[in-house]
Structures are given as C-alpha cells and as structure tokens.
Amino acid sequence: MDFFIITSFTKDISRVDLIGILLGHFIFAIALTKLLDWSWLKDLMSEEDKLRMLKSYTWKDLLVDGAIVTVVLGIIFLIISIFL
C-alpha cells in the first residue's frame, strides 16, 4: 500500500520542485559543514599512524572505495529517476 502513496506523490511533484528540493539540501549541507567545528578530526590519529596508513593503502583499497562511491551515486540516481 505504501508503494501507491509514493507513486501518487511522484505524479504531483514537478521537475522544478525536485530541483528545488535537491538544491536546498545541497545548500543546507554546505552551510551545516561550514557551521560545525570539524577541528577534532585531525586529533583522531597521530602523525605516525597517518603515515603508516597511507603507506599501506593499495590499489585494491582504491577499487573498494571507488565501488562504494559508485553504489552510493547509483542509489542517488535511482531515487532521482523515480521522480522524473
């Protein structure tokens, strides 16, 4: 039953509404990132640990990271395609 609610919602929303929603979320994400204090992130690891981690990073790790980014982008495009 919930599926029919989603499909009727997608008929009522226009492309302009969808672009406005996505643009608003993007602006909010940038503003929130600027407002929050991220300085604690640099204190999570020591310099030796950072260098050791970067030296052990291989092409397989790069492939896994690329695959994760691809899946996330695929899900985002799937959600967008529902509304278009």
Using alpha carbons only, what angle is made at residue 8 by residues 6 and 13, rounded to the nearest 5 degrees? 90
d(CA 27, CA 5): 28
Mean pLDDT of all residues in 26-33: 89
pLDDT confidence band for 60 (50 / 70 / 90): very high
d(CA 22, CA 30): 13
Q: What percent of the chain has pLDDT over 90?
A: 24
Structure tokens at 44: 């999570």
Is the pTM higher than 0.95? The answer reads no
Say whether pLDDT at 71 is over 90: yes
